[in-house]
């Protein structure tokens, strides 16, 4: 399939991946080898030197293009972003996914290195800002997404066509994407591809504890919760014992909540969950799309399946409606 996104990043399929404590070289290389755009999560590497090593490790595992995510979120200690960017540039990376705050101040350095920048946005106004400051593409993250959906609560059924109405640069749909149906829907709504987070955690190559993958297969679309709303740092996470505790604290404190009140449930919990498989250790990002995850394929099996399903839906189901043979066909 060729879209503005496959052409922009030089990839075979318009499918992107990227996540904290999951986006290591193993997963990024597996996604890129399968024809998508694998993304190493920059800040999961504690220092720019470690990121440089992770980029080199990924390069050993794939000769296909892969990218790095740089997330500008309120964190407990601000990372040295210019040094991370230097590691990205020196590592020969040509695709950077930015997220959180605007990447404006870092655009000159990224553009000077010939890097294509895709900024993740949860609103049309932020997408337009990204376009204005010279981003090459946008990843439009709807309310259903795992991680930080912003504070507008607009689901992709509305957000994507709204983005299509306003944007000139290409965009991918992010949030709730799982399969060929998602991809075709995203294309129909104006996107040129899709970004998947949660779905890629439940793959053979995702370097996370088996308990995490099993939890995703077991979870339904009803099992995510929104936390940190009153801090205006809303995050969609998978429900567990510590998330229940966190929500009790949030409820009790109301508008008086500070990050210190919930520090134990949100800070530094990823290694215990993702590496040790302690599923109640704290809050970890997870999308409603968990309800559509029923297996743990390899990245290649997943991407091939998505592309096969997409083709079947377009050529069979959709064309069938037009040529009059589709009325009796089963839903894909
Ligand atoms: C475990 C996990 C960690 C994530 N970490 C990051 C991150 O560090 N930076 C970022 O920009 N997005 C992060 N995300 C968001 C994803 O990149 C993606 O936008 C989101 O998962 C899309 O929604 P989906 O989960 O429904 O596919 C994370 C998502 C998950 C599930």
Mean pLDDT over 150-171 rounds to: 98
Can you give 91-138 as a three-state secondary structure string? CCCCEEEEEECCCHHHHHHHHHCCCEEEEEECCHHHHHHHHHCCCCEE
CA of 286 to the centre of ligand 1 (A): 8
Residue located nearest, by CA, to atom 11 of ligand 1: 99
Q: Using alpha carbons, select from 68, 130, 140 the residue that is nearest to residue 104.
A: 130
Quick: pLDDT tens for 253-262.
Answer: 999 999 999 9
Residue located nearest, by CA, to atom 1 of ligand 1: 285
Phi, psi of 307 (to 5 degrees): -65, -40
- Cβ count near 295 (within 10 Å): 11
DSSP character at residue 288:
G
Residue located nearest, by CA, to atom 21 of ligand 1: 197
Q: Using alpha carbons, select from 70, 6, 72, 3 the residue that is nearest to residue 37.
A: 6
Q: Is the CB of 240 under 6 A from ligand 1?
A: no
Mean pLDDT over 19-23 rounds to: 90
Q: Is the CB of 45 under 6 A from ligand 1?
A: no
Phi, psi of 147 (to 5 degrees): 95, -140
Q: Is the CB of 71 under 6 A from ligand 1?
A: yes
Q: Taking a C-beta distance cutoff of 8 angstroms, is the pair 235, 228 a contact?
A: yes
pLDDT at 61 over 80: yes
CA of 149 to the centre of ligand 1 (A): 10
List Cα–Cα distances, 124 to 136, 145, 170, 234, in angstroms. 15, 16, 13, 18
pLDDT at 70 over 60: yes
Q: Using alpha carbons, select from 43, 103, 102 the residue that is nearest to residue 77.
A: 43
Q: Is the CB of 284 under 6 A from ligand 1?
A: yes
Atom of ligand 1 nearest to the CA of 198: 25
Pocket test for ligand 1, best of 20, 42, 137 (most atoms within 8 A of CB): 20
Quick: pLDDT tens for 74-92.
Answer: 666 789 999 999 999 999 9
pLDDT at 126 over 80: yes
Confidence at residue 33, expressed as pLDDT on a 0 to 100 scale: 98
Question: What whole-number distance in Å separates Cα of residue 31 and Cα of residue 33?
Answer: 5
Confidence at residue 328, expressed as pLDDT on a 0 to 100 scale: 61
The DSSP string of 150-175 is -SS---HHHHHHHHHHH-SS-EEEES
CA of 203 to the centre of ligand 1 (A): 15
Q: Is the CB of 213 under 6 A from ligand 1?
A: no
pLDDT range class, residue 329, cuts 50, 70, 90 = low
State the chain's mean pLDDT as an integer: 96
Residue located nearest, by CA, to atom 13 of ligand 1: 19
Confidence at residue 331, expressed as pLDDT on a 0 to 100 scale: 55
CA of 323 to the centre of ligand 1 (A): 40
pLDDT range class, residue 49, cuts 50, 70, 90 = very high
Confidence at residue 75, expressed as pLDDT on a 0 to 100 scale: 62
Q: Is the CB of 20 under 6 A from ligand 1?
A: yes
Tokens 């904290």, located at residue: 20
Quick: pLDDT tens for 165-214.
Answer: 999 999 999 999 999 999 999 999 999 999 999 999 999 999 999 999 99
Question: What whole-number distance in Å separates Cα of residue 28 and Cα of residue 36?
Answer: 9
pLDDT at 40 over 80: yes
Confidence at residue 18, expressed as pLDDT on a 0 to 100 scale: 81
Q: Is the CB of 42 under 6 A from ligand 1?
A: no
Mean pLDDT over 157-168 rounds to: 98
Q: What is the pairing mode between strands 38-41 and 15-17?
A: unpaired
CA of 6 to the centre of ligand 1 (A): 21
**Bridge partners for 314 per DSSP:** none
Confidence at residue 73, expressed as pLDDT on a 0 to 100 scale: 75
Phi, psi of 134 (to 5 degrees): 100, 15
At 141 the three-state DSSP class reads strand
CA of 195 to the centre of ligand 1 (A): 9
Residue 91 tokens read as 């590592």
């Amino acid at each position: 399939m060729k879209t503005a996104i496959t052409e922009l990043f030089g990839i075979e399929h318009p499918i992107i991946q990227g996540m904290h404590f999951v986006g290591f070289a193993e997963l990024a290389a597996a996604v890129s080898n399968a024809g998508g755009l694998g993304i190493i999560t920059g800040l999961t590497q504690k220092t720019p030197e470690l990121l440089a090593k992770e980029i080199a490790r990924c390069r050993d595992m794939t000769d296909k293009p892969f990218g790095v995510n740089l997330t500008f979120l309120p964190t407990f200690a601000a990372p040295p972003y210019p040094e991370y960017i230097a590691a990205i540039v020196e590592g020969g990376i040509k695709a950077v996914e930015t997220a959180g705050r605007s990447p404006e101040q870092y655009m000159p350095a990224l553009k000077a290195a010939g890097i294509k920048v895709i900024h993740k946005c949860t609103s049309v106004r932020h997408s337009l800002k990204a376009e204005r400051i010279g981003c090459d593409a946008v990843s439009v993250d709807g309310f259903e997404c795992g991680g930080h959906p912003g504070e507008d609560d607009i689901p992709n059924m509305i957000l994507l066509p709204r983005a299509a109405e306003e944007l000139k640069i290409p965009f991918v749909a992010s949030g709730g994407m799982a399969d060929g149906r998602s991809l075709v829907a995203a294309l129909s709504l104006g996107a040129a591809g899709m970004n998947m987070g949660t779905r890629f955690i439940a793959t053979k190559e995702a370097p996370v504890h088996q308990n995490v993958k099993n939890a995703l297969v077991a979870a339904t679309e009803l099992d995510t919760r929104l936390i940190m709303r009153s801090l205006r740092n809303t995050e969609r996470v998978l429900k567990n014992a510590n998330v229940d505790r966190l929500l009790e604290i949030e409820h009790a404190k109301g508008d008086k909540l500070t990050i210190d009140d919930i520090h134990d449930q949100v800070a530094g919990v990823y290694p215990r969950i993702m590496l040790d498989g302690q599923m109640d250790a704290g809050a970890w990002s997870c999308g409603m799309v968990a309800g559509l995850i029923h297996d743990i394929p390899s990245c290649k099996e997943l991407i091939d399946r998505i592309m096969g399903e997409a083709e079947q839906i377009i050529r069979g189901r959709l064309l069938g409606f037009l040529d009059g043979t589709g009325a009796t066909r089963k839903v894909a």
